[in-house]
Amino acid sequence: MREHKDNNSETAVEPPIIEWGVAAQSFDGGADSGDQYLVEVFANGALVVVVDGLGHGPKAAVAGKTAVSILKAYADHPVASLLRRCHEGVRRTRGVVMSLASFDGCSGTMTWLGVGNVKGLLLRKNGGPRHGRERLVLRGGVVGYNLPTPRPSVVSVEPGDTLIFATDGLRSVFAEDLTCGDAPQEMADRILTQYRRGTDDAMVLVARYVGINEAEPTARVGGRDG
């Protein structure tokens, strides 16, 4: 099953500080995928997560969905705390790898953290093709089995800066020709179409920072249904 979902499906109660889109394809085209995501908006902030349950199929999907349900319940907590909660909560599953980012609209920062191989890339709106991007430093391990000491990093963000999370079902070269020119959903769809390996579940999530003052009350984050 291929998934396409952007953040323009529901009327907002409060304007989100990000705009986002996600595209995904399960390994066998079925409904069960270990690749799961969460976009959860809270007061002056937003949590963005991509989770990859080990392997593929129903058991991987259970692991991924378990992690997302935990993250959703504590979305406004620090990312290191969220990672530890997931580690305890998915112990009876296959385990997961994940990358997560928490946007703070008051300070204009993003705190991100990754364990495993869900790649993270931050594209700067005003940066060039070489210097306008930052990559998430990933730490080895499996959430639920072997959790390294969480070491989140904090970066400043400006309106238009764009975060991309991609699972290992996508070829790593997806990042080579990206710019902030397209809408998040268009970027996600194109990355999935062009760079999907076809040997595993694949997911890419694109989140663009809007900021508090720039946010318009026109969309509610669809990922809130989990």
Q: CA-CA distance, 66 to 45, in Å (whole number)?
A: 23
* Complete edge-to-edge strand list for the sheet that includes strand 96-104: 35-42, 45-53, 96-104, 109-115, 153-156
* The pLDDT value given to residue 216: 47
* The pLDDT value given to residue 188: 95
* The pLDDT value given to residue 12: 43
Question: How many domains is the chain partitioned into structurally?
Answer: 1
CATH number of the domain within which 58 lies: 3.60.40.10
Identify the segments of the chain with pLDDT beneath 70.
Answer: 1-14, 128-131, 214-226
pTM of this structure: 0.86
* 8 Å CB contact between 38 and 223: yes
* The pLDDT value given to residue 223: 38
CA–CA distances in Å: residue 69 to residues 82, 90, 134, 215: 11, 10, 29, 27
Residues ≥6 apart with Cβ < 8 Å to 144? 63, 86, 87, 89, 90, 91, 93, 94, 95, 96
pLDDT tens column, 155-177: 999 999 999 999 999 998 888 77
Q: DSSP per residue over 160-172, as a string? A: T-EEEEE-TTB-G
pLDDT tens column, 106-145: 999 999 999 999 999 999 998 755 568 899 999 999 999 9
Calculate ∠ Cα 46-47-48, nearest 5°.
Answer: 120
Kindly state the tokens that stand for 206.
């694109």
* The pLDDT value given to residue 10: 40
Say which DSSP state 1 is in: -
* The pLDDT value given to residue 47: 98
* The pLDDT value given to residue 19: 97
Amino acid at 37: Y
Task: Write out the residue range of the structural domain in which residue 219 sits.
Answer: 2-225
Say which DSSP state 146 is in: B
Radius of gyration for the alpha carbons in the chain, expressed in angstroms and rounded? 16
* The pLDDT value given to residue 221: 37
* The pLDDT value given to residue 39: 98
* 8 Å CB contact between 48 and 208: no
